[in-house]
Amino acid sequence: MYFLSIDHLRTSLSEEDHSPRQDLAYLIGLFIVSATPFGSLTFTTEMTNWWDTLYSLGSIAVIIWGIRFCFRSNNEPSLFLSRFVAVGFVTAVRFALFLGIAMLLGSLALGLSAAFLDIDIPTEHSRAFTVVFLLAFFLVEILYYWRVGVQLSRVAKPELIRTES
C-alpha cells in the first residue's frame, strides 16, 4: 500500500498489479481519513472533549470492522469495490430517510410530552445522556455495515447469472 508515492501507485494500477485486498486497504484508509475529524484525536481543547476523542476512536474501530465484514460477505472479491459503493449508497440513503423520520417523530414526542406533562428539558447534556448518545451512534454505524454486508452476500455470483440465463 502506497501512502505518499502517487507514481508507484499509478504504475501498480496501470500494470494491473493490484489485488482486491489492496483495494480493501485503500478503502478502509479512505473511510478513516474522511470520517474522522482530526482535531478530536488530540488532547482536550476548548472545542473538543474526551467524548469526541472516544467517538473518533470508536468510529475507526467500527469502520475497520464494518468494511472487513462487508468484504468477507461479498461473493466475488474482484467486484467488491463497485458492489460496496452501490449497495452502500442505497443503504445510506435508506438509513438517512429512516433516521430523519425517526428523529422528527422523536422530537415531536419529546416536545409534546414536555408541554403536556410540564417536564423541564435540560439545556446542558448530562454524562448519562452523552453515553446513550454515543452508544446510539455506534449502534447505527454497526447496523449500517451489517445491512450492507447482508445485501452484498445476497448478490449472485457472476457464474450463477450466466448459467441461469
Rounded to whole angstroms, how far apart are CA atoms 30 and 84? 14
In a domain, 1, yes or no: no
Tally of structural domains, the chain: 1
* pLDDT at position 39: 44
| Mean pLDDT, the chain, integer | 75
Computed on alpha carbons and rounded to an integer, the radius of gyration of the chain in Å comes to: 21
In a domain, 153, yes or no: yes
Q: Which domain holds residue 86?
A: 6-164
In a domain, 90, yes or no: yes
Between residues 11 and 129, which one has the greater pLDDT? 11
Q: Flag whether the pTM goes above 0.75.
A: no
Report yes or no: 145 and 65 within 8 Å, Cβ to Cβ: yes
Between residues 1 and 27, which one has the greater pLDDT? 27
One-letter amino acid identity for 35? Answer: A
CA dihedral 28, 34, 92, 98 (to 10 degrees): 130
Answer whether residue 165 shows pLDDT above 50.
no
In a domain, 93, yes or no: yes
State the number of CA atoms in the 13 A half-sphere of 152 facing the CB: 29
Phi, psi of 51 (to 5 degrees): -65, -35
* pLDDT at position 47: 58
Spatial CB neighbours of 99, under 8 Å, sequence gap ≥ 6? 140
C-alpha distances (whole Å) from 74 to each of 38, 77, 106, 136, 156 are 31, 7, 35, 27, 9
In a domain, 76, yes or no: yes
C-alpha cell, 51: 467524548
Percent of the chain scoring above 70 in pLDDT: 62
Rounded to whole angstroms, how far apart are CA atoms 50 and 108? 31
Rounded to whole angstroms, how far apart are CA atoms 30 and 22? 12
